[in-house]
Amino acid sequence: MSDDMLLHFSSNSSNQSDNSLPTKMAKLEARLVGKVSSATGSQQPPQTQQLQQQQQQQPVWSSLSSASKFVSAEDLSEASSSSDSDDENGGEFLIQANTLKRQKIQGDGNLPVFEHVEAATEGTQKIVEPMESKASSEGNRRKQGRGRGHSVSSRGRGSRANDQTKQTSSSTVTPSNGQLENSFHKDSRPKEQFWTDQRTSLEEEVTSLRAKVAALEEDLRKCRQEVSDYQNLCRQLEKELKDIKDYDQQMKPKRTKMISDLLIAVSKAERQEARMKVRQDSLRLGNVGVIRAGTVISETWEDGQALKDLNAHLRQLLEAKEAVERQRKQLKKRQSDKGDASDAESSAQEEDVLIQDEIYKSRLASIKREEESLLRERDRCELDKGRLIREMKRIRDEDGSRFNNFQILNNRYALLNLLGKGGFSEVYKGYDLVEHRYVACKLHGLNAQWSEDKKQSYIRHAIREYNIHKTLVHHHIVRLWDIFEIDQNTFCTVLEYCSGKDLDAVLKATPVLPEKEARIIIVQIFQGLVYLNKRAQKIIHYDLKPGNVLFDELGVAKVTDFGLSKIVEDDVGSQGMELTSQGAGTYW
Ligand SMILES: Nc1ncnc2c1ncn2[C@@H]1O[C@H](COP(=O)(O)OP(=O)(O)OP(=O)(O)O)[C@@H](O)[C@H]1O
């Protein structure tokens, strides 16, 4: 054993604090001797065996060292786990080698493991030099080289590879010194090659990583650029939005003015059209005339030309009918007067009478048909006359109203045309300039002549109506949107606008409503009433009548006018409520 080798051993031994090391060494040597002798046979002299024993110890170390060198270089952390697996499978022989390796790593700290390996390799070279000429072991060396290379390269792959390494290591015990030396020479070249390859691949990897980093940096730069572009765009859009909002704010009064001007223009046109239609219809259907009787001037209705003509035509038909009836009577009388005539004469006369009678009958039937048609026409005219009278009243009320000059109430509601006038209120069609929808503005006017008590009572009623009505949200109940004061004697409630007629007008226009239509109207009203009675605070309407059922543009029926309604108190019990309020409901 060379000095280096001894030194190496001693250094290894000194690193070990384990006192049982000499015993282990002895065991190891004994094992090696056993293995070598079994491999080389028992013919060799004990000296040669000893020499071989000494020489064979070195390759095992160097082999293990080279393995540990590779493992250390590859991954130091993995070395400990590899050693563990060696411990499990390799017994004491391998434990020794790995313990050394581990201690070397721990003891040397940053000191490269290669030094240890090189020292071991040098020692081996010195030992194996005289044995070099053994040509017969060439094949084995190759195998060894491959085996080692394999075990080295697969070291990092797991414990199975370690097992292989151990097997290879065990097999390397048997070859001669020349084989070992050659194997080391052979080993060092692939290692260099390996390291060169490793380095090249690492360099390539570094280069590719650098390229990736550069690409990522470029991406980042682009992203930053994009972010800043977007931020700029955002700022620009925010500015634009602000400008638009400012402009919108600036334009709002102008826009409101423009909308209300347009609405006023349309309403004015509608007013004109309504008045023109009234004039035309009144020519046809009639007008209100003034009759002076002494000092008393009273208003009376004068039928229009169409009604006059119809009535005249009906009178004519009546006269014609009477004339025919008279002729018929005379015919029958003549026939009874000529009762003593001969048979032949009498039969001819009878036949004439019968024919004449048939003519009269047929004339009467045609008069009746004509009369019926004229009567239907007159009914239609009467309906139109009723509408005309209502429209005339509305126009008169509109003309007499102090709200007929297209005011904008509460800076929001543009008053348009009068829809109708109730007992104490005027209802105007309006336009909500904020929500942009048509509404009905009900203007409650307190009579200036009323006593203070009466005014207060009226206001209480109106406020109660508002408080009840504002909580009602149902498809068949007219919505109440708003309430506000106009002046000391007037306030306004803003209601959902119903563009259709009220049920009263419908029933007047169609005296015999088809059952199907009547049923669907009733169903809708009942749905509204059921809603009023299913709430926590039940409500009695108290003024349900056709005039308080309105239709929207789609024909949906809605209950309105909660001015007389009452909330059913909880403590009423089964007795019901007494109708105490004076004038509750509508008299008729
Ligand atoms: N929400 C509405 N939408 C459309 N028209 C309405 C609306 N509310 C009321 N009207 C119309 O306005 C007119 C007057 O209604 P208002 O409720 O003031 O009077 P009324 O019910 O006839 O009388 P009173 O309230 O004294 O019983 C009616 O012809 C009605 O058709």
pLDDT tens track for 319-357:
999 999 999 888 888 777 766 666 667 777 778 888 988
pLDDT: is 221 or 168 the higher one? Answer: 221
pLDDT: is 51 or 220 the higher one? Answer: 220
Q: Side-chain half-sphere of 470: how many Cα atoms within 13 Å?
A: 11
Burial of 61 (0-12, 13-18, 19+ CB in 10 A): buried
List pLDDT tens digits, range 155-196.
444 444 344 444 444 444 444 455 555 555 556 677 888 888
253 and 318 part of one domain: no
Residue 247 reports pLDDT greater than 80? yes
Predicted pLDDT of residue 465: 72
How many structural domains comprise the chain? 3
Predicted pLDDT of residue 582: 45
Q: Could you tell me the pLDDT band of residue 32, with boundaries at 50, 70 and 90?
A: low
321 and 451 part of one domain: no
**Lookup: tokens for 7:** 């030194």
Q: Could you tell me the pLDDT band of residue 367, with boundaries at 50, 70 and 90?
A: very high
Place of tokens 């931020």: 231
Whether 208 maps to a domain, the answer reads no
Which domain, by its residues, includes 234? 215-284
390 and 476 part of one domain: no
Residue nearest to atom 1 of ligand 1 (CA): 497
Residue 29 reports pLDDT greater than 50? yes
412 and 505 part of one domain: yes
Lowest mean pLDDT among 281-290, 397-406, 493-502: 281-290
CA distance 431 to 346: 85
Ligand 1 atom closest to the CA of 586, numbered from 1 = 27
488 and 551 part of one domain: yes
Predicted pLDDT of residue 187: 61
Burial of 406 (0-12, 13-18, 19+ CB in 10 A): middle
CA distance 529 to 476: 9
Whether 310 maps to a domain, the answer reads yes
Predicted pLDDT of residue 237: 95
pLDDT: is 144 or 495 the higher one? Answer: 495
Whether 367 maps to a domain, the answer reads yes
List pLDDT tens digits, range 381-407.
988 898 899 999 999 999 999 999 999
Neighbouring C-beta atoms of residue 495, cutoff 10 Å: 23
Cβ-Cβ contacts under 8 Å for 113 (sequence gap 6 or more): 68, 69, 72, 73, 101, 104, 105
**Cβ-defined contacts of 384-387 (< 8 Å, 24+):** 384/281, 384/284, 384/285, 385/285, 385/286, 385/303, 385/304, 385/307, 386/508, 387/505, 387/509
| Cβ pair 422, 445 in contact under 8 A | no
CA distance 540 to 529: 8
Predicted pLDDT of residue 38: 44
Residue 533 reports pLDDT greater than 50? yes
Whether 157 maps to a domain, the answer reads no
443 and 511 part of one domain: yes
Residues in contact with ligand 1 by the CB-under-6-Å rule are 419-423, 425, 427, 440, 442, 478, 495-498, 502, 547-548, 550, 560-561
530 and 413 part of one domain: yes
The whole-number average pLDDT for the span 34-62 is: 46
Predicted pLDDT of residue 584: 52
Between the CA of 443 and the centroid of ligand 1 the distance, in Å, is: 11
| Cβ pair 317, 367 in contact under 8 A | yes
Predicted pLDDT of residue 90: 40
Whether 497 maps to a domain, the answer reads yes
CA distance 5 to 15: 15
Residue 75 reports pLDDT greater than 90? no
Between the CA of 427 and the centroid of ligand 1 the distance, in Å, is: 6
Identity (one letter) of the amino acid at 529? Answer: L
**Ligand 1 pocket: which of 413, 427, 444 to mutate (most atoms within 8 A of CB):** 427
CA distance 520 to 282: 35
Predicted pLDDT of residue 585: 52
Burial 437-450 (b: 16+ CB within 10 A, else e): ebbbbbbbbbeeee
Residue nearest to atom 29 of ligand 1 (CA): 420
254 and 278 part of one domain: yes
463 and 548 part of one domain: yes
What percent of the chain has a predicted confidence (pLDDT) above 70? 63
Ligand 1 atom closest to the CA of 425, numbered from 1 = 18
387 and 516 part of one domain: no
CA distance 76 to 78: 5
Whether 536 maps to a domain, the answer reads yes
Between the CA of 419 and the centroid of ligand 1 the distance, in Å, is: 7
Predicted pLDDT of residue 570: 64
Predicted pLDDT of residue 372: 95
Residue 114 reports pLDDT greater than 60? no
Whether 150 maps to a domain, the answer reads no
270 and 320 part of one domain: no
Q: Which of 432, 504, 543, 552 is labelled catalytic?
A: 543
Whether 467 maps to a domain, the answer reads yes
List pLDDT tens digits, range 502-521.
999 899 888 789 999 999 99
User: What is the ipTM metric for this complex?
Assistant: 0.96
Residue 417 reports pLDDT greater than 90? yes
The whole-number average pLDDT for the span 459-472 is: 80
220 and 236 part of one domain: yes
Q: From the annotation, which residues make up the binding site?
A: 442
- Tell me which range, 20-24, 122-126, 404-408, 541-545, is most confidently predicted by mean pLDDT: 404-408
Place of tokens 């572009």: 229
Residue 343 falls in the annotated catalytic set: no
Q: Which CATH number characterizes residue 523's domain?
A: 1.10.510.10
Predicted pLDDT of residue 165: 42
Predicted pLDDT of residue 107: 44
Between the CA of 39 and the centroid of ligand 1 the distance, in Å, is: 124
